[in-house]
Structure 1
């Protein structure tokens, strides 16, 4: 049974992240997902990869980058690429879906995860080592 008003969503900010998004998309499809598959992309994604993504995902939606510009803290973490993490907030603009489950492009699905849609309105996975922090990617 397919649920067309709910979606798994991921983000690819450039061609390198598209590779991970494609693996995620294929891993979701392999486990007989029942929801739509959506990838948010930024203008930095090439035309070729947009075409390839459209073969795996039901929707390819272009969004603008949102940069935190928090360079000091990101330098402390040695993760400058995390400044673009706020771009994930575009998931909340997908109002044509009743519920979305966001998975980072570096997530690999090993079994059917449709039960994630049964969780509360807002859920998140805890970050290992930081009990009061949550991972924005799952």
Structure 2
């Protein structure tokens, strides 16, 4: 498919107001909750960038209304124009059967096909540079410096061992919108028999094999808290990413060990009792099991 205009498949609620944008993706009501906490956390950093929320048809408009309190620019997005064969290969059941998540648990609302909508960021050519952040994340201090990083920059997928440094995590990345890049992505994505076991993450690593590394502190995965506590330093963390189990879930399997992180997310979600991040206790000193 040839994308004729930057707006094809996108319906923005308002015109852009800045040259740079933090972009997130909301695919259901659960991630709308996450986006509210993320948007508040970004606003508290006094960022000069716009906050853009891409949202699919699976989200009720009432779930998105609270985001307007944070000045978010809402952009409704269609699923990518991919083949029926591609969609069948990447349905939730097929992805999780062929590439099961062995290290953590993806919640029931996880929809692999929706993840590819992240790639519509490259259609946002009204911005010079974008930083994508998953909606299950918080920004803990100003990270506007990321707009000076090149395309394609991402942090390594480190949460279990240092051997993970060779893989990227697509929960945070820096990109330069371009229709030509987006068109090339669609062709590569929907190649005959192509299968992306970790959806957009696997694809982006192959599409950008020479990706630039961001510090792990710009995408600190929550499992580092108990797997690699020596890496954790609250004062240096720019983005805290709640991979696998989500902080808004009730009583998830690791809620007991991640309790301090879950409490922090709820503080940002409600706007009440948000702590001074520099005063929080690191896991190694708190005696968290490794």
With structure 1 as the length reference, what TM-score do the two structures score? 0.87
Instruction: Please state how far the C-alpha of 1:74 moved relative to its aligned partner.
Output: 2.6
Corresponding residue of 1:133: 167
Corresponding residue of 1:117: 147
1 CA distance for matches of 2:117 and 2:128?
A: 20
Instruction: Please state how far the C-alpha of 1:122 moved relative to its aligned partner.
Output: 1.4
Instruction: Please state how far the C-alpha of 1:44 moved relative to its aligned partner.
Output: 1.2
Question: Structure 2 stretches of 5 or more lacking a match?
Answer: 1-16, 81-86, 173-290
Deviates more, 1:49-58 or 1:125-134: 49-58
Question: Is the counterpart of residue 77 in structure 1 residue 104 in structure 2?
Answer: no
2 CA distance for matches of 1:13 and 1:65?
A: 10
Give yes or no for contact 1:74–1:82 (8 Å, CA) kept in 2: no
Question: Structure 1 stretches of 5 or more lacking a match?
Answer: none
Question: Is the counterpart of residue 99 in structure 1 residue 129 in structure 2?
Answer: yes
Deviates more, 1:98-107 or 1:79-88: 79-88
Structure with more relative contact order (C-alpha pairs < 8 Å, separation 6 or more): 1
Give yes or no for contact 1:41–1:63 (8 Å, CA) kept in 2: yes
1 CA distance for matches of 2:111 and 2:60?
A: 21
Instruction: Please state how far the C-alpha of 1:72 moved relative to its aligned partner.
Output: 3.7
Instruction: Please state how far the C-alpha of 1:121 moved relative to its aligned partner.
Output: 2.2
Q: CA RMSD in A?
A: 2.0
1:11-68 CA distances to partner (integer Å, 9 max, x unpaired)? 0001110000110000000010110110000111112122222222431000023467
Give yes or no for contact 1:10–1:38 (8 Å, CA) kept in 2: yes
2 CA distance for matches of 1:15 and 1:110?
A: 23
Corresponding residue of 1:17: 31
Aligned pairs, number: 136
Question: Is the counterpart of residue 31 in structure 1 residue 45 in structure 2?
Answer: yes
Question: Is the counterpart of residue 52 in structure 1 residue 66 in structure 2?
Answer: yes
2 CA distance for matches of 1:48 and 1:116?
A: 32
Corresponding residue of 1:108: 138
Quickly say closer, same or farther: Cα 1:86–1:22, change in 2 above 3 A. same
Give yes or no for contact 1:38–1:57 (8 Å, CA) kept in 2: no
